[in-house]
Amino acid sequence: MKKALKFVFDLFIILLLTVVTQIGGVVYLLTLFVKPKTAFYRWKRLCAFVFLYLIATFLIVPSLAPLFGREKIKKQDYIASRTFMTDVLNRNYVRPEMNLSLQKIATALNKKHQGVKVIYLDANFPFINNFPLLPHLSHSDGKKVDLSLIYEDENNSITNKKPSVSGYGVYEAPKGGEHDQIKKCLRKGNWQYDFSKYLTFGTINSNLAFSEVGTRDLILEILKQPNTGKIFIEPHLKTRLGLRHQKIRFHGCQAVRHDDHIHFQLQ
């Protein structure tokens, strides 16, 4: 019975790590060869897992990902991840052409708003098309990336600060008189539509306000890229920002709401 429970537990951990990081399940499987010869074998196994996982994530995976047509998002002065955990969890991989587009977008945006960065959230895993990057429905081919909205401080100055730790879950909700797609989706029974409010990992910088100018300029730079396929934001933000481009679309009630981030994908 004890062996059966251990097998179930190990299988659960392998599946969980695979879902969250793609490579974590394989690394954990390797650590199972650490035998329980001492009372501290669990700590040894944990240390072995952390060591092997970090080696794989930062040294091995970046070298193998190009074989699958992907590479890490290239950070520069004006491109940054919202949280280091995006990189640690291997959720920061895109196709080379996406990297090039992000660099062009960030450079152009900085010319309009000096010092402002393009902040990326979840992108894709490093390997295998159609491998799901949960909880996302479509981040599985290296062509998608979520970008943070842009905000202003109490002095109406555009800032790189964000209102949530993860970058998700703090919404720029519809104002009175604006189309409320969120309410419609929830009434249809799409309970998951505002689920990302539970994924903030903490709210911060309560003094921030949504920057219509900064966010609109960011979206316009995305639209200038010839390989842009689609942009997903909530309909009320599209209207509020005065955007009418056909590539800006509604993502459907089966997804989650997009008034906390911008979904950008290639053709």
Q: Give the chain as a DSSP string.
A: -HHHHHHHHHHHHHHHHHHHHSSHHHHHHHHTTS---STTHHHHHHHHHHHHHHHIIIIIHHHHGGGGT-EE---BTTEEES-HHHHHTT--EE-HHHHHHHHHHHHHHHHHSTT--EEE---B-SS-TT---TT-SS--SS-EEEEE--EE-TTS-EES--SBSSS-S---PPPTTS--HHHHHHHTT-GGGGGGGG--SSB--TT-EE-HHHHHHHHHHHHTSTTEEEEE--HHHHHHTT---TTEE---TTS---SSEEEEEE-
Query: What confidence score (pLDDT) does residue 221 get?
Result: 98
Q: What is the pTM of this model?
A: 0.93
Q: Give the pLDDT of residue 171.
A: 97
Q: What angle do CA 118, 178, 170 make, to 5 degrees?
A: 40
Instruction: Give the span between the Cα atoms of 129 and 132, in whole angstroms.
Output: 8
Residue range 10-68, pLDDT digits in tens: 899 999 999 999 999 999 999 887 666 655 667 888 888 999 999 999 999 999 999 99
pLDDT in tens, 157-207: 999 999 999 999 999 999 999 999 999 999 999 999 999 999 999 999 999
